[in-house]
């Protein structure tokens, strides 16, 4: 059961810095389809939970604890890796929301 980034994600990028298996990837901010959020690879996530407390908008949930209305977000994360761009050589500072 992986963790899931929901559509509450505001691209802060803090989650990427703490994931021990580097399975969190930003959709390229210039990509019209995938550019709104970051995504967790469900096949690689080890469910450590480290990303949850560092996410400013509290956008990350264990799969089984997704809030009502966000059930489809799990499929969105999986689809990013299976059918979308997947892993790429991104620059986190360029991809995260300026603060
Ligand atoms: S820390 Fe939260 S808001 Fe920031 S990129 Fe990760 S999931 Fe999105
Ligand atoms: S739960 Fe752990 S392994 Fe999964 S995305 Fe978050 S930090 Fe990475």
Question: What is the structure's pLDDT at 59?
Answer: 98
Q: Answer whether residue 98 is part of any domain.
A: no
Q: Answer whether residue 43 is part of any domain.
A: yes
Q: Model-level pTM?
A: 0.96
Q: Answer whether residue 93 is part of any domain.
A: no
The response to whether residue 50 sits with its C-beta less than 6 Å from ligand 2 reads yes
Domain count, the chain: 1
Local mean pLDDT, 10-residue blocks, the chain (99 residues): 96 98 98 98 98 98 97 98 98 90
Determine the structural domain holding residue 31 and report its residue range: 3-88
62 Cα–ligand 2 center, Å: 9
Question: What is the structure's pLDDT at 98?
Answer: 73
Q: How far is it, in rounded angstroms, from Cα 40 to Cα 50?
A: 13
CATH number at residue 68: 3.30.70.20
Q: Answer whether residue 37 is part of any domain.
A: yes
The response to whether residue 24 sits with its C-beta less than 6 Å from ligand 2 reads yes
């Amino acid at each position: 059961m992986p963790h899931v980034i929901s559509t509450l994600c505001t691209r802060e990028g803090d989650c990427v810095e703490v994931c021990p298996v580097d399975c969190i990837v930003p959709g390229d901010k210039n990509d019209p389809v995938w550019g709104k959020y970051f995504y967790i690879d469900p096949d690689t996530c080890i469910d450590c939970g480290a990303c949850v407390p560092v996410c400013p908008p509290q956008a990350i949930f264990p799969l089984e604890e997704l809030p009502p209305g966000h059930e489809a977000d799990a499929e969105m994360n999986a689809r990013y890796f299976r059918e979308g761009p997947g892993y790429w050589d991104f620059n986190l500072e360029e991809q995260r929301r300026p603060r």
